[in-house]
Amino acid sequence: MGFFQLSKKISLLVFLIVHLNLIALSLGARKLASLYRPPPTALTYHDGALLEGTQPVSILWYGDFSPPQKSIIVDFLLSLNSEKHRPETLSAIATQPSVQKWWYTIQTYVKKAGKKETRVVMANQFSDTNCSLGKFLKKTQIVDLAQKVNPKKPGGLALVLTAKDVAVEGFCMSNCGFHGSNNDHNSAFIWVGNSVTQCPGQCAWPFHQPIYGPQTPPLRAPNGDVGVDGMMINLATLLAGTVTNPFGNGYFLGSADAPLEAATACPGVYGKGAYPGYAGEVLLDHSTGGSYNAWGVNGRKYMLPALVDPSTSQCSTVV
């Protein structure tokens, strides 16, 4: 056998050995990945006050909102404690993809802390169509608006909702909304903005193409309004955090300055099998093409964020 033939065979043998090792490593890596399970996401209770008992909710519509847009959000709040659609047993709640099933998980946190069941009731609605403070708001102005909306008596929850042409400090850049509190009156507030003309890829996913990450096709909004259906996801996320961690010493994971709360600990999860860029297995309204995972009053359909289930410490979805 000549030198060149021997050299050629040795090179072929080395090539085969290297590639077989790479295949083995690849299979091994896939096997490890398939066996991987995320660690439990237990939220720690820090012995603080929660939003318990009857909580009157007042809404400030800052900017121009149409009646259909308002009804999407109001119907969600009415769905939380709807007597008309209340199942007779808790086991019935657990088997239905409803807003009440989602709310029941939040109630579990409240009861686990030995608090009274939280009951949301509609109080007042106010409209500031002319944007009295302008169309660029600082966070401190959001706080001022919330304090004006909240009932003068202690307790209650204020929602400050800004229209699509209203910019808020930090909106799109660092958040899609936030919640805070007025410790003097033992009350809380939530701010959420309509992102449809500012940053729908950040604050209205999965109903809009994301700015970053996997570019999967967006889902159709369940109520046909990308901006308000996106607001609904953020409102539900913040409501979960407000009830369970209203004053910064309730249920959360990590630092109190940047806590992971009941919903924010499960980002981007709306159905089983969710992963970055994929919302998970959700339901489809064949009459409209809209995607959803929970129904509410008046035939409403919503996409609600997953919550950390306190009984399993894992992200749990409605469907």
* Per-residue pLDDT reduced to its tens digit, 213-228: 888 899 999 999 999 9
- Inform me whether the pLDDT recorded for 4 exceeds 70: no
CA 154 to CA 109: how far, in whole Å? 22
Binned at pLDDT 50, 70 and 90, residue 38 comes out as low
Site of tokens 């919903």 = 263
Distance CA 149, CA 26 (A): 59
Q: Taking a C-beta distance cutoff of 8 angstroms, is the pair 25, 224 a contact?
A: no
- Residue 7 confidence (pLDDT) above 70: no
Taking CA 144 as the corner, what is the angle to CA 142 and CA 145, rounded to the nearest 5 degrees? Answer: 65
The answer to which of 9-13, 30-34, 68-72, 113-117 has the lowest mean pLDDT is 30-34
What's the helix, strand, coil split of the chain in %, to 5? 30, 20, 45
Q: pLDDT tens for residues 229-265?
A: 999 999 999 999 999 999 999 999 999 999 999 999 9
Task: Supply the pLDDT for residue 218.
Answer: 96
Per-residue pLDDT at 148 exceeds 80? yes
pLDDT band at 42 (very low <50, low <70, confident <90, very high): confident
pLDDT at 213: 80
Residue 25, pLDDT above cutoff 90: no
Is pLDDT larger for residue 93 or for residue 16? 93
Chain segment 152-174, per-residue pLDDT in tens:
667 789 999 999 999 999 999 99
pTM, full prediction: 0.85
pLDDT score, position 81: 85
The contacts of residue 158 (CB under 8 Å, 6+ apart) are: 57, 58, 59, 60, 146, 147, 149, 150, 187, 188, 189, 190
Task: Kindly report, residue by residue over 171-229, the tens digit of the pLDDT.
Answer: 999 999 999 997 666 789 999 999 999 999 999 999 999 988 888 899 999 999 999 99
Question: What is the pLDDT at residue 153?
Answer: 66
In this prediction, residue 96 has a pLDDT band, given cuts at 50, 70 and 90, of low
- Is there a contact between 81 and 121 (Cβ–Cβ < 8 Å)? yes
Predicted local distance difference test score (pLDDT) of residue 8: 43
| One-character DSSP codes across 280-317 | -B-EE-TTT--EESEE-GGG-EE----EEETTTTEEE-
Using the predicted structure, report yes or no on whether residue 33 has a pLDDT greater than 60: no
| DSSP-derived 3-state class of residue 56 | strand
Helix (H) or strand (E) holding 58: strand 54-62
When comparing pLDDT for 185 and 35, which is higher?
A: 185
pLDDT score recorded for residue 97: 81
Considering only CA atoms, which of 149, 238, 227, 155 is closest in space to residue 190? 238
- Torsions phi, psi of 21, nearest 5? -65, -40
Residues 6+ positions from 242 with CB-CB distance below 8 Å: 51, 157, 179, 188, 190
Of the listed ranges 15-24, 85-94, 117-126, 256-265, the least confidently predicted one is 15-24
Residue 85 has pLDDT above 70, yes or no: no
By mean pLDDT, which of 25-39, 61-75, 121-135, 278-292 is the weakest? 25-39
